[in-house]
Structure 1
Amino acid sequence: MSQQFEVALIIDPGSPYDRRIVRGVAEYVHRARREWSLYVEEDLVDRLPDLRAWGGDGILANLDDHRIAAAVTSLGIPVVGIGGGYGYYEENPHIPYVRTDNRAIARMGAKYLLNLGFRRFAFCSEPPTKYNGWAKEREEAFVATIKEASFPCEVFSGRHSPAKQWRQSQLALQDWLTKISTPTGLMACHDGRARHVLQACRAVGLRVPDDVAILGVDNDDLMCELTRPPLSSIEQGALRVGFEAAAMLDQLMQGRELSQCQASIPPEQVVTRQSTDVTAVADPDVAGALEFIRENACKPIHVSDVLEMARLSRSTLESRFREAIGRTIHAEIRRIQVEAAQRLLITTNLPIKEVVQRVGISSVQYFTAVIRNATGQTPGEIRKSALK
């Protein structure tokens, strides 16, 4: 039987992101067969246990909040931090820490919007503070990815905090939106900011997603579904954040040295809803073909099926495809299949054989070759790297 430990999880159970972190911790405890007694409270500070009298063995805490950091980092017991990489942690790099990969999040968002066919882009951040450097990271990586594709990108941060000066903040955002060219693919630094953009678009008469397609980050499913239209969002790797942080804490509580004191966790996937449900391609035949491919690629379909639907010759449609999106028809079918396979490998425990069937590829051997060629990893390596 493994040693019993008392572990405090100092996170925000009201946050969907933090709840997924807790699930990742629970997954580690289950897989590693650990005997942990977990302390989780709803209030971040006022209802913390008396940590000096508590006598626990380890703490996993969100160190982006300096109040929490101050309460847990001087106790003389193992502490592992989680968060966006700023706030208290930035001043204390010796604390083991698991953070989100903000640049990978932005690159995923940029590539997603590029693949929808947009040629104009925008990023909505928020006024910079000491604690939200993650937003700047996302902005810089998004802009860089778009510029690598040789397209323009507008950026808005604003000067007013929406929480403190809502009206001034929204008026500035509305003014910015009236000046951008449409159609535009827009990514916001998080779901809350994306909802601000959506409201501002409505106020100035911009249609979502036709004029501005909006993508957020965090995939707070309740809030994303409450917006009109529902908000597309990037699912961060919160489950793996919790898993990796728990693994680090386990080693520390057992008196072992960590081989790695920092980990940066990539995002899982884009969850598409109506706010980006558009194909931003001017050529109507290519747009129709793209929609057909995205709906049917995993059934599976072949190039001949797309040609039959479009009622065009292969040479004609291939030429117009390359001009509009820079890929062949076959490459687009394969891209959709690979994306679907990656989602299933990362977010489910389905056997590889069933994943192969669900994405419409003919055999496990061919599937493995396709995935390795597209990602540089085998299906097993993708699944292993998603949750060690």
Structure 2
Amino acid sequence: MTQDDTNTRPTLRDVARHAGVSLGTASKALNKAGTLRQETREKVLSAARELGFRPNDLAQALHRGQSFTVGLISNDSFGRFTMPIMEGLETVLHEAGIALFMCNATDDPEREKRHIDQLLGKRVDGLVFTGRRADRRPAPGLSLGGLPTLYVFSQGDEPGAPCLLPDDEGGARLATEHLVSLGRNRIAHVSGPEDFEAVRLRRRGYEAAVPTLDPDLVLHGPWSEAWGREAGARLLALPRKPDAIFAGNDQIARGIVEALRERQVGIPDDIAIAGFDNWTVMAEATRPPLTSVDMNLKTLGEEAGHRLIRMIKGEKLTGTTRLPCTLVPRASTQPTA
């Protein structure tokens, strides 16, 4: 009868018996411990492969005090922001031999608590919290027992909680300065709801770089293309129209582009447009392709991985760090010949 026929998992004792060695020798060979002849070690490893034996990760974690696993909890169901962060994070952790478990909390505190409880039960070495917006979020609601915890594209309520965020203000300043460098001096800003910290920071960056601040040129509304179309129509109805528009995200920017194209306004000849997020599937599909600010989320994830490894090794990190954004110029702002 084969192992599959019995519907049971092979044990360390099965491996030892198959290899013809003692239980202690099999344990040493599989855990790379002790002094064994290479021939004996290979015999045990070969027996484990033949039987399909897998060590008890939880037991090993208890034995060595480290599971080489990390949990990632997000409420970004769409994955627009979480996926590039996870990609960067996983790349760094993989190189360190650490596996990543991802859980989706979907704005449900009870679901999040269950995820945290399960991850703690797996003896993860650290936790990363992220989401679809970078605002402050409630504390997890469970005692983490000093477990290394890092917030990425998110902020914790706990005093001094280590957080990694994009520099929204600096990114907005980059976009506005780019428009100014093209000779535009009447630059509008259309953004999302003011209760988002990122919206306030991006407006601050815009105001720091715009040549002349005109309240009529600053509009706030929903994060949507529909709002962009409405805002574009409003700006075109002004007695003095803008010659450039910096949008708070790419969805709004695309809506503005549609509103201008419907009215035969030249882009960028009459009005140059820049967005924020560098959501490539949207920015590159816009006509003309959209200049946008890239938050470098993959780099944010990579930095999170490096920092979390340092925390797992015992280094204490606190406070908020903002990493720089970059501008990706495209045809929506290119100067005319």
Task: Specify every segment of 5 or more residues in structure 1 that has no aligned partner in the other structure, as ranges.
Answer: 280-287, 289-388
TM-score by length of 2: 0.67
Match of 2:171 in 1: 105
- C-alpha spacing 1:93/1:186, structure 2 compared with 1 (3 Å): farther
Give the deviation of 1:113 after TM superposition: 1.2
Match of 1:295 in 2: none
Assess if the C-alpha contact under 8 Å between 1:72 and 1:79 holds in 2.
no
* Partner of residue 247 from structure 1, selected from 281, 306, 324: 306
Assess if the C-alpha contact under 8 Å between 1:123 and 1:153 holds in 2.
no
Give the deviation of 1:193 after TM superposition: 1.8
Assess if the C-alpha contact under 8 Å between 2:90 and 2:100 holds in 1.
no
The aligned runs of 1:1-388 (5 Å cut-off) are: 4-11=67-74, 12=76, 14-29=78-93, 33-41=95-103, 44=106, 50-54=115-119, 55=121, 56-62=124-130, 64=133, 69-71=138-140, 74-76=143-145, 77-83=147-153, 89=156, 91-129=157-195, 132-147=196-211, 155-158=217-220, 160-161=221-222, 166=226, 170-171=229-230, 173-179=232-238, 181-182=240-241, 184-258=243-317, 260-267=318-325, 269-279=326-336, 288=337
**How far apart are the structure 2 equivalents of 1:241 and 1:16?**
14
Aligned partner letter, 1:241: L
**How far apart are the structure 2 equivalents of 1:73 and 1:202?**
52
DSSP-derived class of the 1:99 partner: strand
Assess if the C-alpha contact under 8 Å between 1:10 and 1:61 holds in 2.
yes
Assess if the C-alpha contact under 8 Å between 2:223 and 2:251 holds in 1.
no
- C-alpha spacing 1:209/1:15, structure 2 compared with 1 (3 Å): farther
Give the deviation of 1:8 after TM superposition: 1.5
- C-alpha spacing 1:189/1:18, structure 2 compared with 1 (3 Å): same
- C-alpha spacing 1:162/1:263, structure 2 compared with 1 (3 Å): closer
**How far apart are the structure 1 equivalents of 2:129 and 2:163?**
10
- The superposition leaves residues 21-73 of structure 1 with CA deviations (integer Å, 9 ceiling, x where unpaired) of 2232134335xx41211012466457766321333221111164789755476
DSSP-derived class of the 2:288 partner: coil
After superposition, the CA RMSD in angstroms is: 3.3
- C-alpha spacing 1:79/1:66, structure 2 compared with 1 (3 Å): same
DSSP-derived class of the 1:25 partner: helix
Give the deviation of 1:156 after TM superposition: 2.5
Assess if the C-alpha contact under 8 Å between 1:191 and 1:233 holds in 2.
yes
Question: What is the aligned length?
Answer: 265
Q: Which has the higher contact order (CA 8 A, sep 6+)?
A: 2
**How far apart are the structure 1 equivalents of 2:207 and 2:135?**
30
- C-alpha spacing 1:50/1:18, structure 2 compared with 1 (3 Å): closer
Percentage of matched positions with identical amino acids: 27
**Greater radius of gyration (CA):** 2
Aligned partner letter, 1:276: T
